Amino acid sequence: MATADWRTLEGVLQRQVTGERLAHTYRVLEYARRLGRIHGADPDQVAVAALMHDYAKPLPAETLLREAERLGLSIHPVERAAPHLLHGPVAAAQLAEQGLVTDREVLQAIATHTTGRAGMGLLEKVLYVADYAEPGRRFPGAAEVREAAEQDLDRALLAALNNSLLYLVGQGWLIHPASVEARNWLLQGP
């Protein structure tokens, strides 16, 4: 895996992500490492994806949109209306552009960690579930996802997607089609 060394990645991350978001990142890192060990994911890929997944999260909505356009990313109308959904794709593109992360699977996992997608690979599943259900998460359903994740990652992922979709519907918020497609793909048996 051609990627900057760990100390460099941590330094870059800590200049951009601070406070509770940084604490969340380290909880995701530890939980993703655990899930990765259980389910046989590459430990180096898991570590880098988990460490850098929220690299662009602190950016304001206007900056995320501007960066997505500058980086040539395709912007879905839902992302235009809810730019925070772009923090994964923008982070992946920025990290690639800066030469900090070059592993395509790691970049894909970072890009899709908020919405999911049909056809998710093992690394993507580990990161999505770890981000959703890291031990600091106390919202309804998080503990059940954690419990499922150690036995059946697909079942945990489906529960996390279901919970997220129900929450979004309950709030009256837009739903990214990639999340619906990920759920349907899981129901059809990946």
| Structure tokens belonging to residue 76 | 């879905």
Looking at residue 41, its pLDDT comes to 98
pLDDT string in tens for the chain (190-residue length) = 446 799 999 999 999 999 999 999 999 999 999 999 999 999 999 999 999 999 999 999 999 999 999 999 999 999 999 999 999 999 999 999 999 999 999 999 999 999 999 999 999 999 999 999 999 999 989 999 999 999 999 999 999 999 999 999 999 999 999 999 999 999 998 6
Question: Rounded to two decimals, what is the model's pTM?
Answer: 0.96
pLDDT of residue 86: 99
- 62, with CB counted inside 10 A (0-12, 13-18, 19+), is exposed
Q: How confident is the model over 110-156, as pLDDT tens digits?
A: 999 999 999 999 999 999 999 999 999 999 899 999 999 999 999 99
Q: What is the pLDDT of residue 131?
A: 98
DSSP annotation of 3 reads B
pLDDT for 156 equals 98
Which residues lie below 8 Å from residue 112, measured CB to CB, with a gap of 6+?
88, 120, 124, 128, 178
What is the structure's pLDDT at 4?
73
CA–CA distance from 126 to each of 18, 39, 65, 80, 182 (Å)? 23, 8, 27, 27, 14
Task: Return phi, psi of residue 125, to 5°.
Answer: -65, -45
* pLDDT the model gives residue 189: 86
Domain 6-187 = CATH 1.10.3210.10: yes
Contact 109, 49 (CB under 8 A): yes
Burial 168-177 (b: 16+ CB within 10 A, else e): eeeeeeeebe
pLDDT at 153: 98
- Report domain extents, the chain: 6-187
Are the C-beta atoms of residues 60 and 109 closer than 8 Å to each other?
no
Q: What amino acid is encoded at 49 in this protein?
A: A
Phi, psi at residue 70, to the nearest 5°?
-60, -40
Residue 101, helix vs strand vs coil: strand
**Position of tokens 């923090």?**
87
